Amino acid sequence: MSELPKTGREWHLVARPHGWPKPEDFALREAEIAEPGPGRILVRNTHMSVDPYMRGRMNDVKSYVPPFRLDRPMDGGAVGRVIASNAEGIAVGDHVLHGLGWREYAVLDAKHATAVDPELAPLSAYLGVLGMPGLTAYAGLLEVASFKEGDAVFVSGAAGAVGSQVGQIARLKGASRVIGSAGSDEKVKLLVEEYGFDAAFNYKDGPVAEQLKKAAPDGIDVYFDNVGGEHLEAAISSLNVHGRATLCGMIAQYNETEPTPAPRNLVAVIGKRLRLQGMLVGDHASLQPQFVQEVSGWIRSGELKYGETVVEGIENAAEAFLGMLRGENTGKMIVAFGG
């Protein structure tokens, strides 16, 4: 067996951002690597995920997930190759999905790792289309929003990892109309020409409410919210009676330093009998087998497409995260660093 590495690089949060995070809020540091004890494995990470929810963990506030600790390694989704194992059921050479990203090497309990097969799908897919973002889209549309055939669906942030799958799943499940918003003309074109959306618009081109009404003159039945703010207000205006909204993310507000006003038309929720429901993907783990089976079938048949924006090198992970917050990615933002 080749000698195990003694040290590896890992990203630490060194200051809590006020407003938009800055490069100096992060530090890439060298750390010693422990040998795996009983029931544990050592993984050389090959790909890691950067996701919008990580911004909230940089604030020292009570939430559904503990905040990142200062001067400690951050964490998040990652896939890699096992290079040492002291656990039954996982062998050297296996590939696993786990939660200790933001570092080159991860030592963890084997029970917190999930085996993945690079022959079935590229490893990066397990962080996106077949991973947490994919399950978020699947569960958020079908379970939280109670989607049914014939619904008209609007998705904000529709060119991202979650939104692009929401729209395609809605189309595959028989939506009457699928509308998406995105932040560039290139992304709008992608939504219509690649992902099969019926209509899409650039939210920077004018008021969202006006563009949505034009794209959905008969209203919408389901809204999948990744953005919040003006988009949520516009969706409430366009939702039909008994419409449903899945509130998944509000990236437009994550870096605000002052409280943002609620939608000014919330009173419409009463008369239209709307249902606005927040979601966390962890509540829907029971859907995982069904999700993987159905979505992997769509990928193999070519019915569902997915995009990735890949940034090479662990040294560029913080910039990849900041770029994702700025909307520079199309599809899932992935950091690849070999292994």
| Domain range list for the chain | 7-127+308-336, 132-282
Whole-number Å distance between alpha carbons of 95 and 92: 9
Read off the pLDDT of residues 196-227 as tens digits, 9 standing for 90 and up.
Answer: 999 999 999 999 999 999 999 999 999 999 99
Q: Select from 300, 297, 282, 155 the least CA-distant residue to 226.
A: 155
Distances (CA, A) of 77 to 49, 98, 102: 5, 6, 9
Task: Collapse the DSSP code of 10 into the 3-class scheme (helix H, G, I; strand E, B; otherwise coil) and give the result.
Answer: strand
Q: Select from 221, 223, 201 the least CA-distant residue to 212.
A: 201
Q: What is the mean pLDDT of the chain?
A: 94
pLDDT bin (cut points 50, 70, 90) of residue 2 is low
Residue 333 has a pLDDT of 96
Fold classification of 7-127+308-336 (topology level): Quinone Oxidoreductase; Chain A, domain 1 (3.90.180)
Read off the pLDDT of residues 146-199 as tens digits, 9 standing for 90 and up.
Answer: 999 999 999 999 999 999 999 999 999 999 999 999 999 999 999 999 999 999
Per-residue pLDDT averaged across 303-323, rounded?
A: 96
Task: Collapse the DSSP code of 230 into the 3-class scheme (helix H, G, I; strand E, B; otherwise coil) and give the result.
Answer: helix
**How much of the chain, in percent, has pLDDT values that exceed 90?**
87
Residue 221 has a pLDDT of 98
* Mutual angle of helices 288-301 and 163-172, in 10-degree steps: 80
Contact present, 42 and 16 (Cβ < 8 Å): no
Whole-number Å distance between alpha carbons of 181 and 245: 15
Q: Where are the alpha helices (DSSP H) in 121-179?
A: 132-139, 163-172
pLDDT bin (cut points 50, 70, 90) of residue 59 is very high
Residue 62 has a pLDDT of 85
CATH code of 132-282, in short, is 3.40.50.720
Which of the residue ranges 174-188, 248-262, 286-300 would you say has the lowest mean pLDDT? 248-262
Distances (CA, A) of 133 to 34, 292, 293: 31, 12, 16
Phi and psi at 257, nearest 5°, equal -100, -10
Residues in the chain: 339
pLDDT bin (cut points 50, 70, 90) of residue 258 is confident
Per-residue pLDDT averaged across 123-131, rounded?
A: 94
pLDDT at 323 over 60: yes
Beta strands of 136-274 (E only): which ranges? 152-155, 177-182, 199-202, 220-225, 239-247
Q: In the chain, helix, strand, coil percent, each to 5?
A: 30, 30, 40
Contact present, 3 and 308 (Cβ < 8 Å): no
pLDDT at 339 over 70: no
**How much of the chain, in percent, has pLDDT values that exceed 70?**
98
Whole-number Å distance between alpha carbons of 249 and 329: 16
Whole-number Å distance between alpha carbons of 155 and 178: 8
